[in-house]
Structure 1
């Protein structure tokens, strides 16, 4: 693994107490209404800096980023945010409920040496999914304006012996948290400041030689890499310049609290789409059965179908015009072998890859949209997909009123993430949803 370091974090409340009103979810899950709600809790909420332009899927006007930079400087000058005089790492625990069960996930916030993507001796930085150009342009403009990494990337490492997670457990059990926060989703965020050199060294040693798999934050890591390259091109940077490092929260894959949820697809903008035409085109590739009348129960029907599918892909389908649902079981256990022979089998059998290459590229675009691209949204729940189908803007993309068809998927297995990354391949965009998201505003990394 690239070396990990403590860093001079910028924090609210001097890094102590309850900061619930100041923190926010990551920029890429927020819309204007969510931003307004957060700022109504406190005008100094970090979202006022981290989300200058909505949507963050594309580059906004220059003045919005300049305003964010000025706001950040003002909050530092007024003491609302303060920079630590000594470097530290931060043990970070999230307690949450998922699928009616209570979980806790442990990670360490640190500064990770930036390196180009790919395997290397001593451990590399491995992405697992493709990215969009718009968010990278947005994040780059914001980093230029603030000279800070406002939110951490979420990285995974093997930790096969559980050494790192045991160290984290010893830290969080030794004393109360220094910093706490709770957001509207009821996830409890707790942070312990780690200054002890022995603990920092022990943690660094536990990660030695391991790869970092980026679970969330591909755009942010790429932005940090591009920012470093820009500074290097402008002149020499000393070896320990903070821009050479990227703020990350690292979690071991052995952590029992590591949960992956689904990222469904909502498709629209197809000129000749009807559910009958779509099902007719799908028939050579899948066996299709009627789904539940109560659309919210589609995942239960998929689970039942998967029990008899012998490992084949099972997808849920919801048509928004007729309010009907279907469960599709693919006929071929390796459905993209002919289309994508250069990809490993773990990649070819991903639900999200099947949607992109079979559903969209072989059916929707050529048959139902004259060869033109369809419009996408990426909801994380069936409820959110149904809201999009009702014409609501949820922040999942696409815009209001575009939706025609929801394709419901099962969560991507963690082992598939590891296998695809190790093979040097990238999954389609929005392939994974590690729940819960890391909070923004618990720690900020200055890189100026």
Structure 2
């Protein structure tokens, strides 16, 4: 497993850069080429998107980085993608009608040289990091930003971002009911003010742990290469906080009633005659085949055995109790691909096991952002798939390609 320990440093350093972006003249409606977040994309949908001529999914979900690199080079040659003329920090907003869902700043985040106070909060799998690193190295491009949440209250940058988003946007796209809008901040004075805001604090990784670890791995291999910086979206948790939800578990092939009886041997289990519901703090809800049960108060001895060798803070985390006390110990579910499905929508998890013999759903309560941040600051990583921050950015509005050594001969640019 690669080290996720950030280097000591003075603060977050985000820099302007010349992004590569789709040109509507050559690519058409941006809404037809941007890619939804991975968590909301089913395999069949991803395959359908890859059939579109210039859709980003053709690069993002290619199993062959060399083929994706050739496709990317062809799009650049044909002017489907072009590099902006001036370095910019890109203000990005998602909104549904008049409701602002998220607003942040996209730039190049320094990973080397000055240190980066970035706080991972979940562990990673080495083989996934290797896959991400191979894709980045083969493509020599970053197609989607890390999602980082930071806290630095009382800065004039908030008012400045309000003024920037009142200007004419650089690009707009829609994904369902959500509108994605992009502005370019090219004025050096404004850039300095915007960049100074996150520099006052640390950032929690909300999405992109494996991509972050992959960039660290590549930066360690090539200290003078292009991976000392990474594409990142920084969201002010005071002005426009990200929402935090749980990730639920669906276990195919496990009988729900038998699962409830086995759970009663290691915790307190009560039937829910009213049917499944979202769990409260300190509670896990099981459901399947029309039944529902509340699971609370795990027994100390079985819990200690299930979490032996793991941080003491895990004893209070629903995801750790679900994964290790219930799935692993009480139900003997193997840690193999396909044995457990991680589902972000509780309603979908419930309906997927409503019929007999469809398995059991394990519904978890959400952990609060202050709890996640406090544990991350203490160096405690949560169990995998413990949190779902959102809304996540779409991929395709802003791409990062390392600049050629002589930028003046880089080819076509967009104003």
Q: Same fold (TM over 0.5)?
A: yes
| Aligned position for 2:378 | 423
Q: Are residues 1:437 and 2:392 paired?
A: yes
Counterpart of 1:130 in structure 2 is 123
5+ long unaligned stretches in structure 2:
1-10, 404-415
Number of aligned residue pairs: give it: 389
Deviation at 1:279, TM superposition (A): 2.2
- Superposed displacement of residue 290, structure 1: 2.5
- The answer to whether structure 1 residue 105 and structure 2 residue 102 are counterparts is yes
Written as runs of structure 1 = structure 2, the 5 A alignment for 1:157-306 is: 157-161=150-154, 163-173=156-166, 175-184=167-176, 186-232=177-223, 237=224, 242-268=226-252, 273-291=254-272, 295=276, 298-299=277-278, 302=279, 306=280
Q: Pick closer, same or farther for the CA change 1:202–1:443 going to 2, 3 Å.
A: same
Partner of 1:151: helix, strand, or coil?
A: coil
Q: Distance in 1 between matches of 2:243 and 2:293?
A: 27
Q: Secondary structure at the match of 2:86?
A: coil
Question: How far apart are the structure 2 equivalents of 1:14 and 1:102?
Answer: 26
Q: TM-score, normalised by structure 1?
A: 0.78
Specify the alignment match of 2:8 in structure 1. Answer: none
Listed one character per residue, the Cα deviations across residues 40-75 of structure 1 (whole Å, up to 9, x for unaligned) are 5x420111101113xxxxxxxxxx222111111101
Cα 1:166/1:289, change in 2 over 3 Å? farther
| Superimposed CA distance per residue, residues 129-175 of structure 1 (whole angstroms, 9 cap, x where no aligned partner) | 012234323222221221011110001111233544343223213x1
CA deviation after TM superposition for structure 1 residue 285, in Å? 4.2
Supply the distance in 2 between the matched residues of 1:402 and 1:156 (Cα, whole angstroms): 41
- CA shift in 2, pair 1:251/1:344, >3 Å: farther
Q: Over the residues paired in the alignment, what is the CA RMSD in angstroms?
A: 3.1
8 Å CA contact 1:39, 1:45 repeated in 2 = yes
Matches within 5 A, 1:19-418: 19-27=30-38, 29-39=40-50, 42-53=52-63, 64-96=64-96, 102-115=99-112, 124-161=117-154, 163-173=156-166, 175-184=167-176, 186-232=177-223, 237=224, 242-268=226-252, 273-291=254-272, 295=276, 298-299=277-278, 302=279, 306=280, 313-319=282-288, 322-330=289-297, 339=307, 343=311, 345=313, 347-365=314-332, 372-373=334-335, 375-386=339-350, 388-389=352-353, 404-418=359-373
Classify the secondary structure of the residue corresponding to 1:107.
strand
Residues 162 and 252 of structure 1 are in contact (CA less than 8 Å); yes or no, is this contact kept in structure 2? no
Q: Please state if 1:11 is matched with 2:4.
A: no
- Structure 2 counterpart SS, 1:445: coil
For 2:286 and 2:61, the matched residues in 1 are separated by: 33
Bigger CA drift: 434-443 or 102-111?
Answer: 102-111
5+ long unaligned stretches in structure 1: 54-63, 392-400
What TM-score, normalized by structure 2, do the two folds share?
0.84
